[in-house]
Amino acid sequence: MRLNSQLTGDILILRVEAERLDAASAVYFKDQFREAVQAHDGRVVVDLEPVSFMDSSGLGAMVAARKLVADRELEIAELSPIVMKVFRLTRMDKVFSLHDRIEDAIDTSSQSSVKTA
């Protein structure tokens, strides 16, 4: 599991380079996330496009990541249908800002792109 980072303006985009975010990779995600956001005080968007499976450990890692950026909102983009279902079933879609595409997350004026269902 690897996190690739890209800075676009004041937005730090962290792309999860793994097919699964589960018990085996959650610890690595949290460690890499902590390191990536340590010196960044702008917006943070996690790109989950490669992730096709997430279990409760992966969701827990996302919640831990949100706590690390305590005063900011953690935004998530490019959720697969299965991963989106995990967020909906646990009502975490009400806690995180979810975007269909990474471009929608970057475009702050695009409120219609935020998933609400």
Confidence of residue 116 (pLDDT cuts 50, 70, 90): very low
Q: Reduced to 3 states, what is the DSSP secondary structure of residue 22?
A: coil
Domain count, the chain: 1
pTM for the model stands at: 0.89
Q: Is the pLDDT of residue 114 over 80?
A: no
CATH assignment of the domain containing 17 = 3.30.750.24
Token readout for 90 is: 């646990």
Tokens of 93: 């879609």
Residue 109 scores a pLDDT above 70: no
pLDDT, tens digit (0-9, with 9 covering 90-100), for 34-85: 999 998 999 999 999 999 999 999 999 999 999 999 888 899 999 999 999 9
pLDDT category of residue 104 using cuts at 50, 70 and 90: very high
Phi, psi of 56 (to 5 degrees): -65, -30
Query: Would you say residue 115 lies in a domain?
Result: no
The domain of 100 spans: 2-107
